Amino acid sequence: MTRPNFNDIQSFDEFKQYYWYRDELKQICKEHGITHTGTKTELNDNIKAYFNGEIIKPVKRMKIRKQDVPLTLETKLLECGFVLNGRFREFFGEITKTPNFKFTADMATALRRVRSEGNVNFTLKDLLDVYYGKSDYAKYDNSACQWNQFLKDFCRDENNKILLNPEIIKTMGRLYETEEGCLSHIGVKKTKRYEKIKVAYYDVDFKKKIKTFSNYTAQIIQHEIDHCNGILI
């Protein structure tokens, strides 16, 4: 399927039928006066808003001298020029009594949202609440991390290197409903998967093998076999 030019696409539903790289999404936003910073998910959200008639404009950042702003829990992020560096790590380390304090992915996501929305009221206390999980102001999208972890775990097993011409010959366990993401489309969609599957396949030496997979590994293999059969969730 040939991907059309962005300007020829009539709706977001049509847009999300095609795969776009983050740099392409960034360029699309830039060309149409949409804020073009953030994660791939955030850029897709900005484009979705564009198709709905809302243009999320880039926010001009405040220019201040960071060293002139004392740090307290009531200090506003944009006022103090908050960044994920040693100065603020030391501040949060003292507040949480954590010697080797590390910023979380949720905190970084919150910072991006504050900047993109120009939220001048968001304080270091609000960010601390994000750290402790007391606030749902921003949550990191970990779907890509789950996929990366699966690949690491799968490839670590010498018996899982390559499955040639895989075929599910038996399904076992419960049939459950779940949501999956995919590089073939934007966001997640509902689908049904079996808890356990038995798969016949060939290894790299073209020797036929049969192996049973369960849980998340079984789910991913079912997803990929769907692709082999021309099925997109």
Neighbour tally for 201: CB within 10 Å: 19
Active site (annotated) includes residue 54: no
Per-residue model confidence as pLDDT tens digits over 147-195 = 556 556 665 665 556 788 999 999 999 998 887 877 766 667 788 999 9
3-state secondary structure of 160: helix
pTM: 0.48
CATH number of domain containing 191: 3.90.45.10
Identified catalytic residue from 14, 31, 167, 224: 224
Provide the domain count of the chain. 3
Greatest mean pLDDT range, 22-26, 41-45, 88-92: 88-92
Same structural domain, 159 and 207? yes
| CA–CA distances in Å: residue 181 to residues 41, 105, 122, 156 | 12, 20, 31, 23
* Count of CA atoms in the C-beta half-sphere (13 A) of 105: 8
- Quick one: DSSP state of residue 8? G
Q: Which helix (H) or strand (E) holds 194?
A: strand 188-202
Domain limits for position 221: 143-228
Domain boundary among 132, 156, 181: 132
Q: Tell me the mean pLDDT in the region 211-229.
A: 88
Same-domain status, 151 and 122: no
Q: For residue 161, is it within any domain?
A: yes
